[in-house]
Chain A
Amino acid sequence: MKSPFLQNALRAIVWVIYGALAVGIVWGVVLLVRANGPVYFMQAVVDGVKLGFVYALIALGYTMVYGIVRLINFAHGDVFMVGAFASFYAITQYGWGFIPAILLAMVVCTFLNVVIERVAYKPLREAPRIAALITAIGVSFFLEYFTALKWVFGADFNTYKRPFEVVVWNVGGVLITNITVIIAVTTTLLLLALQYTVKNTKIGKAMRATALDKPTSRLMGINVDAIISLTFAFGAALAGAGGVLYAIAFPQIWTFMGLMPGLKAFVAAVLGGIGNIAGAFIGSLLMGSIDVLVVSFVPAGSRLRDLFAFLVLIVVFLVKPTGIMGEPQVEKV
């Protein structure tokens, strides 16, 4: 192995392979774009980003809760569903506008999640993690089936009524609706608000401290229980908003609607590095894009979208298990 000729030859082989891969990727993308036209491609990208934004709102709730109490809150997707339904009733039965409806959804979801946390998760904080996890699963089932009962939300699909008129703009052939814009704007505002809170306020500092080390935080005078509840509250508010936006974009709602988006959002959070807010956002954009790109470009893609989403997950896990922005956790021996 010491021969310089051999070393250079091997290095050359590596760079040839890199070159071939790069060419292949570029060629593949060009093929994709040319297959159905650049407009189709851009449309897919736009729709993917749109979905990614909605996933981000849900994913943040997962990642914040996991970061602070190491719990996968399986019920989070169902909180999202409740947000959609709350706004649905507000809009169709009381004629509320967009902003009041979304605020209502956020408030309702916040309340719901905090109640869940206090009743079901808090008593199990010292218990083995599996107990809290099973409880989360139980809460999820309960929310899904209870709301499916006739006198609650009912088990049928409801068509969501949008609180504003849909406006479609044609940007060079790509159709962008005001829905997309609203989703992008709302999500960005909420994300910025969250980022500001976490980075620049005392409460945000308390949240970060609690996530890092609970006993020490307590000793520093932080009311850990309140901070945990607050984290659940923030996550739920975002999920509630996400529910409204999702329902506006895909106006069929039913009590099991939270299952797949919730799961995909959670995968997105893990993809980006669980516990990491920026990671959750990046992961969500990735998940949303893959979802839509698969549907748009893979034959029978709409039936195989879930398979591809989780295939990506498995691949990422094999390559970088802690996620894109994740930090490896070193176990002290």
Chain B
Amino acid sequence: MAAQPRAETGNGSILDISRLTKLFGGLRAVSDFHMAVPEGRLYGLIGPNGAGKTTVFNMITGLYLPTEGSIVFDGRDLVGVDSHHITQAGVARTFQNIRLFQNLTVLDNVRIAYHTHAEYSMLEAVLRLGRFGREERSLSEQAQDLLAVFGLQDRQLEVAKNLPYGEQRRLEIARALAAQPRLLLLDEPAAGMNPTESESLMELIHFIRDHFKLTILLIEHQMRVVMGICEWITVMDFGQVIARGTPREIQNNDRVIEAYLGKRMGKRI
């Protein structure tokens, strides 16, 4: 089995999850989950529906409290920390079912991510003092630049809910990037996309990883995307890790095939 890629900086993992478990009453949604993601890598988390992947994301981002286990991001334990502090610490995500601010404009969706970095106080905003003007302009320009990367700058004054589905997905990624994360969690970004769109998405993800110097962890069902861009994949089923490895190894792994296709079908993906 190929060894897990080392971090380029040699600093070890930016995200280190161990023994992570989540119980909902009697249901074991996630059980003894381990994962270490070195900085700057593009990792994948896959598994059949209901395997617990989104639950892991929810625990990383503080929406669920783990029953057991630890989540260490950049040396800091995230368990029990409020979600907004986790984001401020540098973790951003997108959602399986798009969670945009539907009635706000495209530009505003992105500008909100800059709120925690906004350098003016409420009083300065209300009185429209000098600092407000400068900061607001700077913030707006940064947002516009980011939208341009995603090809959305011409849509900036559109209300988010009026965007076509694919653009909404792009907007959600743009918004997550605006939060200036160091770790980006993408939850099924290619959902509902056709092959051409998925190709573009793959390029986009590569680009943002390199351009914004991020670590990316990806949940995805479209195998072409996963196998195409992920450097290392963790496979879950029924809340547990059943396999880890490079895309090639995963494709040939019997347990993985079984998990997706059932015992009797033995086809290669």
Residue of B with least CB distance to A331: B63
B95 contacts across to A, CB distance below 8 A? 333
B57-107 with Cβ < 8 A to chain A: 58, 63, 95
A333–B64 Cα gap in the complex (Å)? 10
Please name all residues of chain A whose beta carbon is closer than 8 Å to the beta carbon of B63 when the two chains form the complex.
333
Contact of B144 with A by CB under 8 A: no
Distance in angstroms between the alpha carbons of A333 and B53 in the assembled complex: 12
Size bracket of the B interface: under 10
Complex Cα–Cα for A333 and B93 (A): 12
What's the count of A-B pairs with C-beta under 8 Å?
4
B54 at interface by CB-CB < 8 Å = yes
Give A299-333 interface residues, CB cut-off 8 Å to B: 333
Residues of B within 8 A of A333 (CB): 54, 58, 63, 95
How many angstroms from the CA of A175 to the CA of B230 in the assembled complex?
A: 80
Residue of chain A at shortest CB distance from B187 = A333
Residue of A nearest to B96 (CB): A333
| B-facing residues in A23-82 (Cβ within 8 Å) | none
A333 to B58, CA, bound (A): 8
Which chain A residues (212-233) contact chain B, with CB distance < 8 Å?
Answer: none
For B24, the closest partner residue in chain A by CB is A330
B58 cross-chain contacts in A, Cβ below 8 A:
333
- In the complex, residue of chain A having the shortest beta-carbon distance to the beta carbon of B61: A333
How close is A30's CB to chain B, nearest CB, in angstroms? 41
Query: Once bound together, how far apart are the Cα atoms of A333 and B96, in whole Å?
Result: 8
How far, in whole Å, are A333 and B60 apart by their CA atoms in the complex? 13
Over the window 83-117 of chain A, the binary record of Cβ atoms lying under 8 Å from chain B Cβ atoms (1 yes, 0 no) is 00000000000000000000000000000000000
Query: Interface code A226-270, partner B: CB below 8 Å = 1, 0 otherwise?
Result: 000000000000000000000000000000000000000000000
Chain A, residue nearest B57 (CB): A333
> Nearest chain-B residue to A332 (Cβ)?
B97
Once bound together, how far apart are the Cα atoms of A333 and B95, in whole Å? 8
- Whole-angstrom CA separation of A333 from B98 in the bound complex: 10
Shortest B234–chain A CB gap in Å is 20
Q: How far is the CB of A227 from chain B (nearest CB, A)?
A: 29
Give bound CA distance, A333 to B55, whole Å: 9
Measured between C-beta atoms, what is the minimum distance from B191 to chain A in Å? 15
Smallest beta-carbon distance A317→chain B, Å:
22
Measured CB to CB, the closest approach of chain B to A110, in angstroms, equals: 40
Q: How far is the CA of A333 from the CA of B61 in the complex (A)?
A: 12
CA–CA, A256 and B95, complex, Å: 50
Q: Mark B116-158, 1 if CB is under 8 A from A, else 0.
A: 0000000000000000000000000000000000000000000
Give Cα distance in the complex from A333 to B63, angstroms: 9
Q: How far is the CB of A103 from chain B (nearest CB, A)?
A: 46
Q: Which chain B residue lies CB-closest to A330?
A: B24
- Residue of A with least CB distance to B64: A333
Kindly provide the distance from the CB of A63 to the nearest chain B CB, expressed in whole angstroms.
25
- A: residues with CB less than 8 A from B are 333
4 residue pairs bridging A and B, Cβ less than 8 Å apart: A333-B54, A333-B58, A333-B63, A333-B95
The list of the 4 closest CB pairs from A to B, nearest first, reads: A333-B58, A333-B63, A333-B54, A333-B95
